Amino acid sequence: MQAESDHPHHRPLLALGLRLAAAFVLAGLLACVKLASNKGIHLAEIMFWRQLPTIPILFGWFALRGRPDLLRTRRTASHLRRSGFGLLGMTMNFGAATLLPLAVATTLNYSSAIFAVLLSALVLREPTGPWRWSAVAMGFAGVVLIAQPWGNDLPLLGAAIALGAALMIALISVQLRDLGRTEHPLTIVFYFSLFTVPILALAMPFVATTHTPGEWLLLLACGVIGLLGQALLTAALRYGAVANVIVMDYSGLVWATLFGWLVFDNLPPSSTWLGAPLVVAAGLLIAWREHKLGLERRALAEPIEA
> Which residue ranges make up each domain of the chain?
4-305
CA–CA dist 9, 20 (Å, integer) = 18
Non-local (6+) Cβ contacts of 148 within 8 A are 154, 271
Distance set, CA 112 to CA 35, 54, 144, 241, 249 (Å): 25, 26, 15, 15, 11
Mean pLDDT lowest among 73-82, 110-119, 158-167, 196-205: 110-119
Q: How many CB atoms lie within 10 A of CB 139?
A: 27
> What CA–CA distance (Å, rounded) separates 185 from 287?
23
In this prediction the pTM is 0.77
Query: Which pLDDT tens digit goes with each residue over 196-251?
Result: 999 999 999 999 999 999 999 999 999 999 888 878 877 787 777 666 666 677 77
- The pLDDT of residue 52 is 92
**At 72, is the pLDDT very low, low, confident or very high (cuts 50, 70, 90)?**
confident
| Residue 169, pLDDT score | 82
If DSSP states are collapsed to H, E and C, what string results for the chain?
CCCHHHCCCCCHHHHHHHHHHHHHHHHHHHHHHHHHHHCCCCHHHHHHHHHCCHHHHHHHHHHHCCCHHHHCCCCHHHHHHHHHHHHHHHHHHHHHHHHCCHHHHHHHHCCHHHHHHHHHHHCCCCCCCHHHHHHHHHHHHHHHHHHCCCCCCCCHHHHHHHHHHHHHHHHHHHHHHHHCCCCCHHHHHHHHHHHHHHHHHCCHHHHCCCCCHHHHHHHHHHHHHHHHHHHHHHHHHHHCCHHHHHHHHHHHHHHHHHHHHHHHCCCCCHHHHHHHHHHHHHHHHHHHHHHHHHHHHHHHHHHHHC
Any idea of the CA torsion for 36, 39, 41, 46, to the nearest 10 degrees? 0
Residue 155 has pLDDT above 90, yes or no: no
Distance from C-alpha of 104 to C-alpha of 98, rounded to nearest angstrom: 11
How does DSSP classify residue 183? S
**Which residues lie closer than 8 Å to 261 by C-beta, 6 or more apart?**
267
In which element (H, E) is residue 38 found?
helix 12-38
pLDDT for 139? 73
pLDDT value of position 92: 94
